[in-house]
Amino acid sequence: MIINFNFFYFKSITFFKFLNGFLLLFLKFIYFHRYNNYYLVGGITILKAINIVYEYPDGTRALNNINFKVEKGEMVALLGRNGAGKSTLFLHFNGIHQAKSGEIFIDGEKLEYDKKSLLKARQKIGIVFQNPDNQLFAPTVEEDVAFGPMNLGLPIREVEQRVKDSLEKVGMFGFEKKSPHHLSGGQKKRVAIAGILAMKPELMILDEPTSGLDPKGASHILKLLHDLNKEGMTIVISTHDVDLVPVYSNKIFLISDGEIIANGLPNEVFSDVELIRSADLRLPRIAHLAEILNKKDGLDFGDYYPLTIGEARAKILDLVNKD
């Protein structure tokens, strides 16, 4: 019997090369997702907007060729001044606005505007509107929060549990019997968030979730969103609160006059100070202090200014310990 050693040699080398390549790819995958803080759940696009143009009936061109992408597991912030186009863009994601041109994809499927497709999209994507008065309508808080889960056809016990959990999470447990219209602005906002939370959407979009909330309330809501994101929910918020954004988001889109003018990691986006200011925004306070210390006092913070108190503390301790 003739054994072809060359053949086996060739086969095993090819096999090991293949294994090596596969292993490398797997390690890259793990590294990438760890680095991006969405370990093993990221990398799959859940929402994509391509070349969106939108004009209001009076002719105002609110969105001009917008491209926007969210991957599963991300926490994304859309940052822009008043009138930049944030709310207009968000209202495209559940089909309330239909673009003049461009397309929206949800989980890879093109958004269509018939009743069935819209219902499907709205089960995946929950939007908390900027103004809670546009969202709350039921006579009591508990009925309002229960409305979404009831419509999903869930058993009554499950609905009750979700109402209780959601109200607890937003700090509004105990207000079940109150009329939403007798609540303060901040309380309404929390109930509106609870209503969407109770539907457990895959992707939760919140238009200015912290506006109207006191500092503790704003931190509480952002911490809640951060925790939900850690549990696997994809989250998109719009805001102009530049101090809170870097703490809680892993990707930023900067919108100005209906156009996305930058996107990337918070450090990347905030490193272009001129661009941030040209969009009528500012650096986070802590980064502004670092900029002054750098320009006036010669302190070297390296490639970028720290964006959070934690980063600033680490960099300042570094500088102190060097001397």
Ligand X SMILES: Nc1ncnc2c1ncn2[C@@H]1O[C@H](COP(=O)(O)OP(=O)(O)OP(=O)(O)O)[C@@H](O)[C@H]1O
Which listed option, Mg ion, ligand X, none, makes contact with residue 58 (CB within 5 to 8 Å by class)? ligand X
Under the binding rule (CB under 6 A), the answer on residue 83 touching ligand X is: yes
Instruction: Give the 3-state secondary structure of residue 247.
Output: helix
Q: How many CB atoms lie within 10 A of CB 106?
A: 23
Q: How many CB atoms lie within 10 A of CB 24?
A: 10
Question: Is residue 55 classed as helix, strand or coil in its secondary structure?
Answer: strand
- Nearest one of 126, 134, 128, 130 to 82, comparing CA atoms: 130
User: 96 or 317, CB closer to ligand X?
Assistant: 96
Residue 66 vs 198, nearer CB to ligand X: 66
100 scored as a contact of ligand X (CB under 6 A): no
Minimal distance, residue 255 CB to ligand X, in Å: 7
Q: With beta carbons less than 8 A apart as the criterion, state whether 78 and 89 touch.
A: yes
Region label for 6, one of left (φ > 0), alpha (ψ between -120 and 50) or beta (otherwise): alpha
- Judged by CB under 6 A, does residue 280 bind ligand X? no
Measured CA to CA, the distance from residue 307 to residue 243 in angstroms comes to 8
Assess 87 for contact with Mg ion (CB under 5 A). Answer: yes
CB-nearer residue toward ligand X: 48 or 86 = 86
245 is a site residue for ligand X (CB under 6 A): no
Rounded CA separation 180/167 (Å): 13
CB contact at 8 A, 266 and 245 = yes
Distance CA 38, CA 108 (A): 20
Q: Spell out, one character per residue from 38 to 77, where the chain touches Mg ion: x when CB under 5 A holds, - when not.
A: ----------------------------------------
SS3 231: coil
**Based on CB atoms, which residue is closest to ligand X, 88 or 187?**
88
239 binds Mg ion (CB under 5 A): no
Binder of Mg ion out of 46, 93, 121, 130 (CB under 5 A): 130
DSSP 133: G
Toward Mg ion, which CB reaches closer, 66 or 198? 66
x-marked contacts with ligand X along 39-68 as a string, rule CB under 6 A: -----------------x-x-x-x------
Residue 130 binding ligand X, by CB under 6 A: yes
Count the neighbouring beta carbons within 10 Å of the beta carbon of residue 287: 27
88 is an interface residue for ligand X by CB under 6 A: yes
Which residues make up the interface to ligand X (CB under 6 A)?
A: 56, 58, 60, 62, 80, 82-88, 130
Residues that bind Mg ion (CB under 5 A): 86-87, 130
